[in-house]
Amino acid sequence: MIGQDMVNRLYDCQVVDPRGEKIGSVKRVWLDGQTGDPLWASVHTGLFGLKESFVPLQRAELRNDQLRVPVEKEQVKDSPRIEATNDNMTDEEQAELYRHYGFGPQGGQRQSQQSQQPPVRRPGSSMQPGEYPNRGRETQRFDGEAMTRSEEQLRVGTEQVETGKARLVKHVTTEQQQVQVPVSHEEVRLEREPITEENRAAALRGEDITEAEHEVTLHAEKPVVRKETEPVERVRLSTDTVADTETVSDQVRKEQIDVEDGHARDRRR
């Protein structure tokens, strides 16, 4: 149970759901205008913590610097966007939050009657019997005679996202190659030799006058081509991380504390 004495401890607490998943950090706390009990906390969620969502403090538990709420992280991400104009919640805004989370005013199941909502209002406003304006207000952290001034600060980070894909593709191309191959062939050459004592017997063999033929087989080399597949290299994909910077911007709010007396109003930041 979150009581009034725990309000100052809630600021900047890490909010987690029943499964222990981190939702965000508490930036503002909203009180019941009549009893002063904390009802809602606004939490910065989303990428870089730029979205403000409301979580119920009913049935929430504060453990050290961790606030465990009874709603799932997905519920908080999908919660209605509440403007809370002039730091107050309207009846409709509060009812919309109750409908979304299914909580009743005392942390039970949401009832259908509007009159069963808690009387939430700003301190000092009047309320007639039977009327339930249901207006919440943001708390100001106050300790004795000192008031704490707070500012919103940008908290930036990074997340890994997929930007594209690369893949290796192997395909076959054909190209013409020319190779010089040395070859040889035989040619006929006519040789004449005179009759000598050594070859006379061979020359007189046979008839004196006759016709004759002598055949010689010629040879030549011709190129022969065959193909062999040889591995030439291995190719793989790898990635390099390149450092760069990007500029992000958003609006932040700052509290200002003014001094007012009964005679003159001096404003000092």
Q: Is the pLDDT score of 265 beyond 50?
A: no
The first and second tokens of residue 244, run together, are: 């760069």
Identify whether 71 is part of a domain. yes
First to last CA, the chain: 37
pTM: 0.42
Average pLDDT (73-87) is 82
Which residue range is the domain that position 27 belongs to?
4-139
- Structural domain contains residue 120: yes
In a domain, 60, yes or no: yes
In a domain, 266, yes or no: no
The total domain count for the chain is 1
pLDDT tens column, 105-117? 654 443 333 333 4
61: amino acid identity, one letter: E
Q: What is the pLDDT of residue 71?
A: 92
Per-residue pLDDT at 84: 67
Listed as own residue / partner, the contacts of 6-9 with beta carbons closer than 8 Å and 24 or more positions apart are 6/38, 6/62, 7/31, 7/38, 7/139, 7/141, 8/141, 8/143, 9/62
Write out pLDDT tens, residues 184-196. 999 999 989 899 9
Residue 96 lies in a domain: yes
Res 93 pLDDT > 70: yes
Q: What is the CATH number of the domain that holds 22?
A: 2.30.30.240
Query: Of 131 and 141, which is predicted with more confidence?
Result: 141
Give kind and range of the element (H or E) at residue 208.
none
- The pairing of beta strand 142-143 with beta strand 22-32: unpaired
d(CA 87, CA 78): 22
- Residue type present at position 56: P
Is residue 221 in a domain?
no
Q: What pLDDT digit, counting tens, does each position of 205-258 carry?
A: 878 788 888 899 999 999 999 999 999 999 999 998 899 998 988 888 888 888
- pLDDT given for residue 104 in this prediction: 65
Q: Is residue 24 part of a domain?
A: yes
